[in-house]
Chains A and B, each alone.
Chain A
Amino acid sequence: MSAVVALRGVHKVFGFGADRTVALEGIDLEIEKGAFVSLIGPSGCGKSTLLRLIGDLTPVTSGTVRVNGKSAVQARTDHEYGIVFQSPVLFDWRTVQRNVELPIELSGVAPAARATRAREMLALVELAGFEERYPWQLSGGMQQRVAIARALSFAPAILLMDEPFGALDEMSRERLNLELLRIWQRTGTTIVFVTHSIPEAVFLSTQVAVMSARPGRIVDLIDIDLARPRDELTREHPSYFEHVTRVRESLRRGEGQRPLVALAP
């Protein structure tokens, strides 16, 4: 099977001397094509740093990162991934459509082709009709959908998402979870998703990577074998709660705490 993202023996250290902080230690992770992998862990465990290592937004201290068969640096230059942050980071001087066009504009795509593609992506995130609006005229959830449309505009193989729904209210979050799954099914993109929320991680992913407190290590890689397509009913299914408990217990172990519940082996 083809591993789209492969990290081997990755260490990440910040600072020197007295300020030296080991953010990540001995990370080995393989993500298959088309998978939806969530990274979850306590605050400061390095999950956002790990995401940025995959995107070559910060260099590894040691170890290797291969993305789509290339080095992380090459993958970034070749636009192999799109990234979505916790805040939409839209440019307030551009219309919604021009915001979505930004990455393909930088790739030198002609204006007509750009506009078509941007409109396609906006239709995909169900924001058709909002092309000429400005970001401040949209709600937080809608702005994030524009950010997702932008990240997909050059049809990357991988989507990196750093707590994209963290700033939204619970209901918008659940709605956008469903939307994201729908987009994932349609595009077949491999998604690496950082989150704080156990229910969200379980609901969305094919696998959940649980991380320990700093220095961050991957303590568990849990397969989430809930049926697809997942919907509101999935959240009420007993096996959903089992998986959530599994992830929670794994997190507690990662933080060095005793288990609360005895789990079936």
Chain B
Amino acid sequence: MLRAARALLSFVAFVAVIAAIWELAKLLGGDPVGGWTPPFAWRIANDLNMPHLWDIAASFAAPAQRNGPPLGVLLVTAAGFTFREAFGGFVFGAALGLGLAIVFVHSPLLERALVPYVVASQTIPIIAIAPMVVIWLQAGWLSVAVISAYLTFFPVTIAGIRGLRSPDPRAIELMRSYAASPRELLLKVRLPAAAPYLFAALKVAATASVVGAIIGELPSGIRDGLGGAILNFNQYYISGPEKLWAAIVVAALLGIAFFALVRAAEVAVLRGRLGGSAA
């Protein structure tokens, strides 16, 4: 409890520092405000490129389009939409990753044959595959979840292989002395031993799934999610830069929230073990 409170506090403190630096930069080199003329003129710090933080905050309450709902509501709905896709991708990717890891640990031949391709798969730019996935599976939740899964399965596979192989060889001997079956060895020893490794990878996968979902929405022409919102507000940037920043803030919060969710699950599952889990 105390650790979580401290982490939250240091996070808030850091955000406050960033906010202070932001406004300080604008104070020194941004556009004139009130009676104050800044001593420098930095293009990056002007109101178009770096809107005032209070303008960004205010934009949440204002409607994004004429007669539309407030931007805040729009963005939260979009975030929920994107989260559903990301979560789907997360689950697919985690299942695929763990499945592959189990297969590889039991078959060194398959491991040697296929791991290079698992690694190489991550060198293929997903933004390039995305349009093709959309054509194969039709634009929609499934295609975005598949694109999202593409980014999430890799860390889980690698961590799964390491984790499933991590038990002390003497623990394996012990199970042999009990005449345990390979299935019992997997369920009672390898999987529990792999749990810390898997959770470390799942935290990475959580972020990756959100990134994958946002990227997946782009070629699909899906407008309901955060990807669509970012594209939209990017197009109309000149007329309202705060809206794009607001969308980015919401995307950032979604990534962090999903990460925190997985971290909470990690703390619960790994309770009691020495060290619990690394940060």
Contact = CB atoms under 8 A, between A and B. Distances in A.
Interface string A64-99: 000000000000110101110101010111110000
B274 interface: yes
A136 B180 contact: no
Q: Is the interface of B mostly helix, strand, loop or mixed?
A: helix
B168 A89 contact: yes
Contact of A87 (B168, B184, B270): B168
A136 B274 contact: yes
Interface in B151-209: 168, 170-171, 173-174, 176-180, 184, 188-189, 192-193, 195
A134 B37 CA distance: 65
Interface string B267-279: 0001011100000
A92 B180 contact: no
B168 A57 contact: no
B178 A103 contact: yes
B178 A87 contact: no
Given A85-B170, A87-B168, A106-B188, A93 B273 contact: yes
Given A57-B173, A106-B180, A134 B168 contact: no
A135 B176 CA distance: 22
B174 A95 contact: no
A229 B196 CA distance: 47
A57 B178 contact: no
Contacts of B173: 52, 57, 83, 85
A83 B171 contact: no
A77 B179 contact: yes
Nearest to B189: A91
Interface of A: 52, 55, 57, 76-77, 79, 81-83, 85, 87, 89, 91-95, 102-103, 105-107, 134-136
Task: List the 8 closest A-B pairs by CB distance, nearest first.
Answer: A136-B274, A93-B192, A77-B179, A89-B170, A83-B177, A85-B170, A106-B178, A103-B178
Given A83-B177, A91-B171, 17 more contacts: A57-B176, A76-B176, A76-B177, A76-B179, A89-B171, A91-B193, A92-B274, A93-B192, A93-B193, A93-B195, A93-B272, A93-B273, A105-B188, A106-B178, A106-B180, A134-B273, A135-B274
